[in-house]
């Protein structure tokens, strides 16, 4: 035995073991550093996201209060209350009783005003010069036509920290006063005193621009009495300076500090209002895995290195399993209800169908779920979804499963093919939910609808659900051959619509409009017909609803504008005096702020006078976003286009829209001409007279649609309608036939004159 050789081998083995030990330590150290850094960054991201959410909630609450005040100002605008001080005083007192403010005040442009405090039946005379400067400044902004929110101040009548919402009040487009409403910090306290910040481990406060606590959460990390975040010694001077800089520049920032031996961090986010900030703090996630303790264990003894590595590997494995379970939960389960999601549902359905080919797929949908969210908020909507998931789970048998899809839809795999039994089971569930919710916390009847595909799939079940038209009398529909045919036609339309547009299969048809004073041609309406390559014609009622649903109507409507411009250009080049043509435009176009510019480019490409283009919008478009629609109409007018409101009278706010939307023309819905005779006809006549009279006083032209008889024409002519359109004059015909039938005659008549 060679001792030297043995020693050399021992040294070699020792060196290898030491090297492996050092390498293992380095790897573990690097991994721990990475884990801690990643966790810290994730903690920052979570804190930032939650603060943003609370910021959004605060601003939404303030926007809601501002909207209430703006609505009151609008009411004053359309009334004569502000012209009589006595009426205004009565209105201020009564209005303040029905709104969530601590005070309501009105200021005239000369600076004097009146104020009613919550719970009082009297008014206080006010003067801007005597008010707190923060309040007075906000009122002066409103008197200049701006909406303002004041900084915090302590009032003389309501001795508590408060701030003001202030909006201008107009009469005849002039500011005649400012309406202000006082509010306390309770709107913030209800939010920052919650226990859900960062899973109950975070602490949220409201700061002023100087770092002072405006609202300090009851659940605060630091228990010491403090007036500002700069009090005490827990923040380093460097961090304090960085925080002051962020406050001065209205920037967000992260910071770290140590409190009672624990590492903590905070995040500051500006509210974007009066210099206010949200300040969130909590303990570092990494404190429970102290790097110092790991170093102590590593330095304690090299002999325990392997055990420590194994323990760390076990801990890492445990954490991996935990994270994997969490990822699986996120990947295959709905976070709101805990039910399976569609991915898990589809995979389990495949396995179930292998064992049992007799099955059905059903989909449940909540009617008007949006209203539930609007009435009871997102929390109320989520509670309803959880309740529905619980009830669906109770009605399932054996190995039946269900899942929640997006929004308010649930899919069920039922071990059943008998339509009668399926209808009975789903009917009991629907009736039970309707009965319980109508008398439970909601006091609002929740109605469910169901589509079922026997031995089908989710798509077919959804088609069955969508087939329910009259939901008042039908709650369950089954997929059948007719629905299959409708689905096939839908797919056929969607698969060929792009090529049809490129191949110009959509043809321009025109229906004439006539001057009711002499029945002469005065214009036309552009209509679309789809002529397929096989020669068949598809009418708008078949494809337009689908195009509006999938958004293709945006392309088609602009395409039709281009075809109209092309036709106008052809008339002009042929020496024919063109007539105005109106083109229907969908609501999706008006949602695009680039729409007026895109339209302008199309018309200018054909060098057609813009006043020859009338853009028709349905009355229902105004219900989506009234403010945006007003802006778009103004932009279209500025570019020389005319705007017409089609089907006027079908909605519930027609006269209101007529007063606010500056349209050039309204087209009376054909229902006005074809209602039942008798008392209803007399009432219709009165309504028509008032509508036409109001339109004329607003300098808006009136077109009567659906004129089918000479009596119809005489009726609307007697009312004062300028133009008429309908089968009495002409049916929609191709642009070529329209030119031959109407435009040539029009040219002859002009020459004779």
Selected residue with higher pLDDT from 219 and 301: 219
Could you give the angle at the alpha carbon of 220 between the alpha carbons of 219 and 223, nearest 5°?
A: 120
Cα→Cα distances 337→189, 364, 562, 709, Å: 29, 15, 50, 60
Mean pLDDT of the region 15-26: 71
Q: 153-154 and 161-171 as β-strands: parallel, antiparallel, unpaired?
A: antiparallel
Res 119: pLDDT = 79
Q: Is the pLDDT of residue 391 over 50?
A: yes
Burial track 418-431 (b if 16+ CB lie within 10 A, e otherwise): eeeebeebbeebbe
Q: Measured between alpha carbons, how far is 745 from 741 in angstroms, rounded to an integer?
A: 7
Q: Which two tokens stand for residue 727?
A: 């089968």
Q: Is the pLDDT of residue 87 over 90?
A: no
Res 288: pLDDT = 41
Res 578: pLDDT = 95
Which residue blocks in 620-753 are alpha helix, DSSP H?
626-638, 654-660, 679-697, 710-719, 735-738, 744-752
> Per-residue confidence at 746, pLDDT binned at 50, 70, 90?
low
CB 363 within 8 A of CB 462: yes
Q: Is the pLDDT of residue 219 over 70?
A: no
Per-residue model confidence as pLDDT tens digits over 130-178: 888 888 988 998 999 888 888 888 777 777 778 888 999 888 888 988 9
Per-residue model confidence as pLDDT tens digits over 424-443: 999 999 888 887 776 655 55
> Per-residue confidence at 423, pLDDT binned at 50, 70, 90?
very high
CB 411 within 8 A of CB 362: yes
> Per-residue confidence at 74, pLDDT binned at 50, 70, 90?
confident
3-state helix, strand, coil in the chain (%, to 5): 50, 20, 25
Mean pLDDT of the region 207-234: 81
Mean pLDDT of the region 180-199: 68
Mean pLDDT of the region 719-733: 93
> Per-residue confidence at 300, pLDDT binned at 50, 70, 90?
very low
CB 666 within 8 A of CB 705: no
Res 291: pLDDT = 34
Could you say which DSSP state residue 219 is in?
S
Res 299: pLDDT = 42
> Per-residue confidence at 728, pLDDT binned at 50, 70, 90?
very high
Q: Is the pLDDT of residue 410 over 90?
A: yes
pTM above 0.85, yes or no: no
Q: Is the pLDDT of residue 297 over 50?
A: no
CB 715: neighbour CB atoms within 10 A? 17
Phi/psi for 151 (5° steps) reads -75, 175
Res 715: pLDDT = 87
Average pLDDT over the chain, rounded to an integer: 82
Res 654: pLDDT = 62
Per-residue model confidence as pLDDT tens digits over 624-653: 667 888 899 999 999 999 999 887 765 544
- Give the whole-number percent of the chain exceeding pLDDT 70: 80
Q: What is the DSSP string of 358-394?
A: --EEEEEEETTHHHHHHHHHHHHHHHHHHHHHHHHHH
Which residue blocks in 666-709 are alpha helix, DSSP H?
679-697
Q: Is the pLDDT of residue 7 over 60?
A: no
Please name the residues in contact with 700: beta carbons below 8 A apart, sequence gap of 6 or more: 658, 663, 664, 665, 666
As a residue count, the chain comes to: 753
Name the most confidently modeled range: 17-31, 53-67, 502-516, 687-701. 502-516
- The residue with tokens 């002999």 is 303
Res 6: pLDDT = 47
Q: What is the DSSP string of 518-578?
A: T--EEEEEEEEEEE-TTS-EE-HHHHHHHHHHHTTHHHHHHHHHHHHHHHHHHHHHTTPPP
Q: Is the pLDDT of residue 330 over 50?
A: yes
Per-residue model confidence as pLDDT tens digits over 576-609: 999 999 999 988 888 888 999 999 999 999 999 9
Please name the residues in contact with 267: beta carbons below 8 A apart, sequence gap of 6 or more: 44, 47, 48, 51, 252, 253, 254, 255, 279, 280, 281
Q: Measured between alpha carbons, how far is 104 from 83 in angstroms, rounded to an integer?
A: 18
């Amino acid at each position: 035995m060679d001792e030297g050789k043995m020693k050399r081998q021992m040294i070699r083995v020792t060196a290898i073991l030491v090297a492996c030990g050092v390498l293992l330590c380095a790897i573990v150290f690097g991994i721990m550093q990475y884990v801690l850094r990643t966790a810290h960054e994730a903690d920052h991201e979570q804190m930032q996201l939650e603060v943003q959410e609370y910021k959004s909630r605060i601003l939404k609450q303030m926007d809601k209060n501002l909207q209430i005040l703006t609505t009151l100002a609008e009411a004053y605008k359309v009334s004569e209350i502000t012209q009589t001080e006595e009426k205004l005083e009565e209105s201020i007192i009564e209005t303040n009783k029905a709104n969530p403010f601590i005070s309501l005040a009105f200021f005239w442009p000369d600076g004097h005003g009146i104020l009613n405090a919550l719970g009082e039946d009297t008014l206080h005379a006010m003067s801007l010069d005597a008010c707190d400067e923060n309040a007075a400044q906000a009122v002066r902004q409103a008197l200049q036509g701006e909406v303002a929110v004041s900084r915090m101040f302590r009032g003389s009548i309501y001795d508590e920290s408060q701030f003001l919402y202030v909006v201008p009040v107009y009469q005849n487009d002039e500011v005649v006063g400012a309406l202000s409403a006082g509010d306390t910090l309770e709107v913030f306290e209800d939010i920052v005193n919650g226990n859900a910040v960062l899973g109950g481990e975070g602490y949220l406060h409201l700061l002023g621009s100087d770092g002072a606590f405006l609202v300090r959460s009851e659940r605060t990390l630091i228990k010491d009495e403090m007036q500002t975040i700069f009090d005490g010694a827990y923040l380093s001077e460097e961090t304090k300076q960085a925080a002051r800089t962020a406050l001065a520049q209205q920037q967000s920032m992260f910071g770290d500090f140590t409190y009672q031996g624990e590492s903590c961090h905070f995040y500051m986010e500006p509210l974007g209002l009066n210099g206010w900030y949200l300040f969130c703090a909590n303990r570092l996630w990494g404190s429970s895995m102290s790097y110092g303790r790991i170093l102590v264990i590593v330095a304690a003894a090299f002999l325990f290195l392997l055990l420590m590595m194994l323990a760390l590997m076990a801990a890492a494995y445990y954490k991996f399993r935990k994270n994997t379970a969490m990822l699986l939960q996120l990947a295959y389960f709905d976070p709101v209800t805990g039910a399976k999601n569609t991915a898990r549902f589809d995979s389990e359905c495949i396995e179930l169908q292998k064992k049992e080919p007799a099955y059905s797929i059903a989909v449940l949908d909540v009617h008007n779920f949006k209203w539930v969210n609007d009435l009871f908020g997102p929390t109320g909507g989520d509670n309803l979804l959880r309740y529905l998931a619980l009830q669906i789970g109770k009605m399932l048998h054996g190995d039946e499963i269900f899942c929640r899809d997006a929004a308010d839809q649930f899919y069920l795999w039922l071990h059943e093919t008998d339509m009668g039994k399926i209808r009975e089971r789903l009917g009991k569930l629907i009736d039970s939910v309707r009965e319980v919710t109508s008398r439970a916390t909601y006091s609002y009847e929740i109605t469910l609808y169901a589509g079922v595909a026997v031995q089908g799939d989710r798509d077919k079940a959804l088609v069955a659900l969508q087939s329910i038209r009259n939901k008042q009398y039908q709650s369950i529909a089954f997929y059948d051959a007719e629905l299959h045919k409708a689905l096939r036609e839908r797919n056929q339309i969607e698969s060929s619509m792009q090529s049809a547009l490129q191949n110009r299969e959509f043809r321009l048809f025109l229906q004439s409009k006539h001057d009711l004073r002499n029945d002469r041609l005065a214009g036309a309406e552009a209509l679309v017909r789809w002529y397929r390559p096989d020669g068949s014609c598809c009418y708008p009622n078949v494809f337009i609803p689908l195009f509006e649903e999938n958004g293709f109507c945006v392309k088609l409507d602009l395409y039709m504008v281009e075809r109209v411009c092309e036709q106008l250009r052809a008339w002009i080049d042929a020496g024919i005096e063109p007539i105005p043509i109106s083109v229907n435009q969908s609501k999706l176009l008006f949602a695009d702020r680039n729409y007026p510019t895109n339209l302008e480019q199309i018309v200018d490409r054909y060098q057609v006078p813009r006043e020859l283009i009338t853009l028709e919008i349905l009355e229902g478009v105004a219900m989506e976003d009234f403010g945006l629609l007003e802006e778009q109409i103004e932009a279209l007018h500025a570019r020389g286009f005319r705007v017409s409101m089609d089907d006027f009278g079908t909605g519930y706010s027609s006269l209101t829209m007529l007063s606010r939307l500056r349209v050039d023309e309204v087209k009376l819905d054909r229902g006005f001409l074809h209602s039942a005779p008798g008392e209803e006809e007399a009432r219709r006549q009165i309504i028509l007279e008032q509508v036409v009279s109001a339109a004329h006083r607003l300098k808006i032209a009136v077109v009567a649609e659906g004129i089918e008889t000479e009596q119809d024409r005489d009726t609307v002519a007697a009312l004062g309608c300028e133009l008429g359109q309908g089968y009495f004059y002409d049916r929609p015909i191709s642009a070529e036939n329209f030119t031959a039938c109407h435009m040539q005659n029009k040219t002859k008549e002009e020459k004779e004159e």
